[in-house]
Amino acid sequence: MSARGGFITSGRVLAAAIAACLVCAVLPVRLLGWTGAVSGVAVRLVAPVSDLGKWIGDRAARAETEEHPDPEIGRLQELESLVRAQEMRISELRAMLDALEQGDILPEARVRQLVGRVFSTSASRAERTLLVRRGAKDGVAEGAAAVVRGRHMLGVVSDVNESFCVVTPLVARNAGPIEVIVHPAEGDGPGVPFVVSPTGDGTRRGPGQFRTEGAEQRPVEVRVGDEASLSDPAMAPHWGLLVGDVVEVERDPESPLRQLVTIRPRIDTRNVARVVLRVPDDDRASE
């Protein structure tokens, strides 16, 4: 049977391998140096297969990439990123709007400042209009603000001819209501918006909004001596100009949570000889 099966059979190879293992197990380490060459051959034969298996395993376990291979899903991810960016921009704009409403920041506005001499047309403090030697030829237009002492708003240009303009003081009966922000005269604090109208006695009076602050939602209270600054949307280039000081505070009878304030300008129009006209740059077409 050995002749028919040949000299090398699987049984003999297995027996020889077992015998070799037994011999290697009892030999000293210093006599096993020859096994390095055999192990090198085995590594070269087995390594390509193991590398292939490792590559397949890595691909199967790999985390999904940022850009999804599916075009539709990738497009949805891109749209989600755009939506998040727009939501952040909306939040920023809302914060800016809140700051503008409270007078914490002022809109950027480029204006020219023209000094003009004043001629009075009335002796009444409440009704007195001012005739100023500046007109259309200088670029003045209706809506320009008349200012004294840097930031004290005296009134608004209501009529213009070629050489002169008429300034209606804020306290004049026909001046109409304006929006202001009232801030503490000293220190930082949230502002409270008010809409104030002329009373005819040289002051303005009107109700404010109900505002709270802090985690406790404490009502923001306006006090006598606080400052009122212009915040009317129709006069955006002149926001932040000082309108006057709070001289009286009371509760609004129609809404007890709100306050009513009376504001008096610091400047008496009877003592004004010159004003500075703040003319927005858009009004320079006449130059």
> 83: domain range?
73-102
Q: How far from 82 is each of 55, 87, 96, 207, CA to CA, in Å? A: 36, 9, 21, 42
89 or 174, greater pLDDT? 174
Residue 211 and residue 151 share a domain = yes
pLDDT score, position 3: 47
**Quick check: is 31 in a domain?**
no
Residue 77 and residue 116 share a domain = no
Residue 248 and residue 272 share a domain = yes
The tokens 């376990």 sit on which residue? 61
- Residue 272 contacts by C-beta under 8 Å, 6 or more apart in sequence? 118, 130, 148, 154
180 or 212, greater pLDDT? 180
**Quick check: is 157 in a domain?**
yes
Q: Which CATH number fits the domain that encloses residue 176? A: 2.40.10.340
For residue 167, the cross-strand partners are: 130, 157
**Quick check: is 35 in a domain?**
no
For residue 263, the cross-strand partners are: 204, 246
Residue 202 and residue 139 share a domain = yes
**Quick check: is 44 in a domain?**
no
194 or 102, greater pLDDT? 194
- If you ran DSSP here, which 8-state letter would residue 47 be given? H
Residue 204 and residue 78 share a domain = no
How many domains would you assign to the chain? 2
pLDDT tens profile 95-120: 656 655 554 444 556 788 889 998 86
pLDDT tens profile 233-280: 888 888 889 999 999 999 988 888 899 999 999 888 878 888 999 987
pLDDT score, position 158: 92
The residue out of 51, 85, 102 marking a domain boundary is 102
- If you ran DSSP here, which 8-state letter would residue 64 be given? P
pLDDT tens profile 119-152: 866 655 556 789 999 999 999 999 999 998 878 9
Residue 244 and residue 175 share a domain = yes
pLDDT tens profile 72-87: 776 777 787 777 777 7
What's the whole-number mean pLDDT along residues 160-169? Answer: 93
